[in-house]
Amino acid sequence: QTSFYGRFRHFLDIIDPRTLFVTESRLKEAVQLLEDYKHGTLPPGVTNKELWGAQKIKQAIIHPDTNETIFMPFRMSGTAEPPSLLLQVVGLLLPNQTLASTVFWQWLNQSHNACVNYANRNATKPSPTSKFIQGYLGAVISAVSIAVGLNMLIQRANKFTPATRLLIQRFVPFPAVASANICNVVLMRHAELEEGIDVLDNNGNIVGSSRIAAKHALLETALTRVVLPMPILVLPPIIMSILEKTSLLRSRPRMILPVQSLVCLAAFGLALPLAISLFPQMSEVST
């Protein structure tokens, strides 16, 4: 995972939706196979392909800090391209949003984000439930406030034509979601800045707790949460503004929503591995 391409390939495996259908018995077999490999007691005939398959299953399902099974909807593979998340993205990008619909879609998106962040958190140090609630409320309030505020400003901008106003409104979800994601991460993991997180040596042994390492981790996570919604909430409005001018969609307006759903699906399939590949899972800091 020293290169971006290597991490990208690695995370494509982690978000593979097929791992959602791995049974409990298959998961136990995969974990046991990796334990046998670690202790040099592999049964004869086990191939490298089988070992990599077991590694893929474990990394997609088991939390690396707690060794507990991550609840299925909040795994990285569970956030890859399920109907529920696709519905959120399409809902956020719907034109002519009302106040109620703006609040609803931002609330739904940030509720899902908060659960995913908590399920995949750095769990080397215990964090009280109050931190999770604080991060969740902060994210929802910031997302709704920014989205509603920007929409109101755009509607009051008399200099814009109706077409221009509609186009600009399509980009409102990105700053709202990106800022809320940062707020979510900072509030939920603020304790790490005060207490630090565990740091390891080259052999994986815990050598202490570091606030500097926590600062690095928090910054990288926040940057990832800004990059993640960028392709999802920026590319589809641009693409759809072009496609809606074609004769095909002009003559078939009912096709706009299905086409937008496909565009969002493709954008999200690219965005997730791209964003989480920016930084390695195990970063290094100078002693």
Average pLDDT over residues 251-258: 87
Confidence at residue 230, expressed as pLDDT on a 0 to 100 scale: 86
Among 25-39, 134-148, 155-169, the minimum mean pLDDT is found in 155-169
Average pLDDT over residues 102-123: 82
Same domain for 215 and 115:
yes
- Condensed to tens digits (0 to 9), the pLDDT of residues 41-93 reads 998 889 999 999 999 899 888 998 888 888 887 887 765 545 566 778 778 87
Average pLDDT over residues 11-21: 78
Whose structure tokens read 């940057």?
223
Query: How many structural domains compose the chain?
Result: 2
- Domain enclosing residue 22, as ranges: 4-61
Does position 167 have pLDDT exceeding 70, yes or no? yes
More confident residue, 83 or 104: 104
Q: How far apart are CA 267 and CA 37, in angstroms?
A: 38
- Condensed to tens digits (0 to 9), the pLDDT of residues 172-193 reads 888 888 888 888 788 777 778 8
From 206, 229, 252, give the residue that closes a domain: 229
The answer to whether position 178 is within a domain reads yes
Average pLDDT over residues 127-145: 81
Q: How far apart are CA 32 and CA 25, in angstroms?
A: 11
Same domain for 127 and 219:
yes
Same domain for 217 and 97:
yes
The answer to whether position 43 is within a domain reads yes
Same domain for 171 and 121:
yes
The DSSP 8-state label assigned to residue 69 in this structure reads B
Q: Is the dihedral of CA 116, 120, 121, 123 positive or negative?
A: positive
